[in-house]
Every structure is written in structure tokens, then in C-alpha cells.
Amino acid sequence: MAATTTRVPAERLRRQLHLVFGAWGMPEDQAKAVVDVMTETDLRGVDSHGISMLPLYDRLRREGKVVAAPDVKVVREAPVTALVDAANGLGHYAAVRAMSLAIEKAKANGMAAVGVFNSNHYGPAGYYALMAAAAGLIGMSFTNVWNSAVVPTRSRVAMFGTNPIAFAAPAGRNPAFCLDMATSTVAIGKLRVAYLNEKPIPAGWVTDADGQPITDARIAHETRLLTPVGGLPEMSSHKGYGLGAMVEILCAMLTGAWYAPTKARKAPDDPMFNIGHFFFAIDPTAFRDPGDFEADVDDMIDALRAAEPADPALPVLVHGDPERANHVERSRNGIPMPRALLDEIRDVARMNNVAFVLDGSA
């Protein structure tokens, strides 16, 4: 039986997050950025990366692995590049600053790349790619993670995180194209969502150490041996494996962040995660006359939507369509939250001595 869910208005969720981050002592500008990212994430239906992350964030802060008020700063800079030190804070604020800087530099120089190190979880990669698209640019966003959970092809041991890739491009009359994907078959957060909602998971998402599929969400959440995109070797899992390695190279080796499997050897006494992010922005007018790129993206999107579907009841979608539909529906009806998650957030509010407002009683 599926767990009971409650619909929570976005503004109530926003208020709850502000109360908790205020109790942490997070500066207002940083709190606003984090709350904006997390709330927008839940509105778009990416439940694995929104407020469901708050209990983990709060635990990491209490353990001294997340700094509540980090001194985020640019430590290297050139006309089309920069490197940002996130100072061990939550990744959202540093990521917003980094992509904002990439956008500024790309508008001035045609393209720009900005890396981040000493960071933590930053939410959904797509949020930052869409920042660039909203500014009329192509945007790309990548991040590595602190815990290995993805098994390379032929491995019994996890060697990568879910290492997401996001790519967004502006259109003219259509909303922006936005691909936002883990390089694993599924994000870890989706295992948590299935667990909270007491639902099984599809075979192929997670395996045991012998490569056998696991469908029990509770066991899968504990095991965390996710397959790379492709799932099985005979389904070309080496492609997801390679994409995960690419993200690691951009986010860890290029920025100076940690690669999780070698951290214990390189920095055994460092309690911080030192996650890395990488952002890229391209101005289409560096290649095309103004408006031409967007018109061609519109033509592609229109052609895709007009493609004859294999099932008439399931029309062909374009990347970003489901999230936009969720945003409209959830803005109107509220964000669904399972009872187990509400209980967890209530505990976080109690531990931080702030009101629990998600039930509307305060």
C-alpha cells in the first residue's frame, strides 16, 4: 500500500526552509539562493533533490561536514574562466554564483567555464543549466558527489557517484530545452522517494554485489549499488560508465575537488567532502545571427512533438516537458509530501527550535 501524502503549498515549504536555515545562522543572501533552488526543484517534480534532502543537510551540519555560513569566493579568474571556493557550505549558493559568473563572462566573450570546489550537494543540475537558458545562452552543469554508489561495467565495487549532466538551450516561441540526467540508471534520491512512499523499484536500477537485480526499495537504499546508464553490459552500460568518468574529470580533477575512492588515501584526516561542480555557458550569437539559433531550436522541438507516437495515448515529449507540467500542477495544488518525510522535517524543526509549518498549524 502506498504511503499517505499531503499537499503542501510552495510558500509554506519556502517558509519552513527559511526558518531552518535562519536557525543555522545562514546569511540571508545564501539562504534565499538555497531556498529558491530547493523550492523550484519540488515544484518541478524532482522530489529526490528538494526538501527531502533537508534531514541529510541538517545531519551533515551537526556533524561539522557542512558550514552554515561559508565565505564563498572566487580564487582564480581569467576572461573566460573562474574557480570558486564554496568554503564547505551547501552547494546551491556557490553554484548560483558560479553559473551567474559564467553567464556574465559568456555574454562578454562568447563562452565561459567556471569550476567550484570545497562544495557539497547542490540540488538538481538542471536548475543551473536553465539559468543560462533564461539569459539566452546554452548552459551546461555537472557535479560529482562524495559517496560512490555506481558500479562501473564489470565491477563489483561502486566507483562513481550518480554524477549528473544537465544541458539547457533557449528557444524562441517554445520553452527552453532541458536535459537533466544522472549518469547512473537512476538517482539515489529516487530510491529514497520510493522507500518513503513504500513502493518497489524496477529491476535494473540496483544490483547486489553479484550483479543480481534488487527491487525492494528499502534494501536497495541500503545497498546503493546503482548501475550506470544502460544498466547491463549487454545494454551498453559502458556508455553510462564513460559519462560518469567524464563528469568526475571535469568536476574533481579539473577543479581540485576530491574523487571519492581516492580521498581516504589522499586526505584521510579531512572530514569535509570537497565536492566539485563545473558550469559552461555559450552565447549563440558568437556563432549565429541573433534569433537564428533559437528559431532552429524551435523547429527541432516542433518536429519532435509532431512525431507520430508509437502509442497514441503517449505523445512524444521534449526534455523539460514533464517538469514544466509538474510546475503548473503543483503551483496550483501544492507539493505532495509523504507522511514519512513530513515526520522527518518535523524532527528537523524541533532540533533547530523553530516552528513546523508544513501542516499549516503555524
Higher pLDDT, 153 or 344: 344
Cell of 257: 575537488
Lowest-pLDDT choice from 18-27, 107-116, 203-212, 351-360: 203-212
- List Cβ<8 Å contacts ≥24 apart for 342-348: 342/6, 344/54, 344/55, 345/16, 345/51, 345/54, 345/55, 347/55, 348/20, 348/54, 348/55, 348/58
Find out whether 170 and 294 touch, Cβ atoms under 8 Å.
yes
The per-residue pLDDT for 212 is 81
The per-residue pLDDT for 222 is 81
Cell of 140: 551546461
Q: What are the C-alpha distances in Å from 325 to residues 175, 208, 322, 331?
A: 12, 35, 5, 10
Domain ranges of the chain: 1-69+334-362, 70-185+226-301
Cβ neighbors of 339 (< 8 A, separation 6 or more) are 3, 4, 5, 6
The per-residue pLDDT for 1 is 39
**Three-state secondary-structure class, residue 6:** strand
Amino acid residing at 211:
G
The per-residue pLDDT for 245 is 98
CA distance 94 to 96: 6
Per-residue pLDDT, averaged over 1-26, amounts to: 91
**Residues composing the chain:** 362
Residue 362's pLDDT band, with cuts at 50, 70 and 90, is: low
The per-residue pLDDT for 193 is 82
Cell 537533466 -> residue: 180
Per-residue pLDDT, averaged over 255-275, amounts to: 94
- Work out the number of other CB atoms within 10 angstroms of the CB of residue 314: 8
Higher pLDDT, 308 or 212: 308
The per-residue pLDDT for 211 is 78
Q: What percent of the chain has pLDDT over 90?
A: 82
Q: Please tell me the CATH code under which domain 70-185+226-301 is placed.
A: 3.30.1370.60
Strand-pair partners of 116 = 84, 277
Strands, E, within the chain: which ranges? 5-8, 73-78, 81-85, 111-119, 138-143, 165-169, 177-181, 206-207, 213-214, 275-282, 335-338
Q: What are the C-alpha distances in Å from 32 to residues 26, 64, 142?
A: 10, 22, 22
- Tens digit of each residue's pLDDT (9 = 90 or more) over 52-106: 999 999 999 999 999 999 999 999 999 999 999 999 999 999 999 999 999 999 9
The per-residue pLDDT for 115 is 99
Per-residue pLDDT, averaged over 293-312, amounts to: 98
**Three-state secondary-structure class, residue 84:** strand
CA distance 242 to 218: 28
pLDDT above 60: residue 48: yes
pLDDT above 60: residue 2: no
Residue 234's pLDDT band, with cuts at 50, 70 and 90, is: confident
CA distance 144 to 44: 22
Indicate the burial class of 218 (C-beta count within 10 angstroms; 0-12, 13-18, 19 or more). middle
- State the average pLDDT for the chain: 94
pLDDT above 90: residue 319: yes
Cell 538542471 -> residue: 126
- Closest to 140 in 3D by CA, of 80, 181, 82, 190: 181
Main-chain dihedrals φ then ψ at residue 54, nearest 5 degrees: -60, -45
CA of residue 247 relative to chain centroid, distance: 13
Residue 189's pLDDT band, with cuts at 50, 70 and 90, is: confident
Q: How far apart are the first and last CA of the chain?
A: 30
Main-chain dihedrals φ then ψ at residue 74, nearest 5 degrees: -85, 125
Instruction: Please tell me the class of the 1-69+334-362 domain.
Output: mainly alpha
- Tens digit of each residue's pLDDT (9 = 90 or more) over 135-146: 999 999 999 999
**Three-state secondary-structure class, residue 295:** helix
Half-sphere exposure of 141 (CA within 13 A, CB side): 32
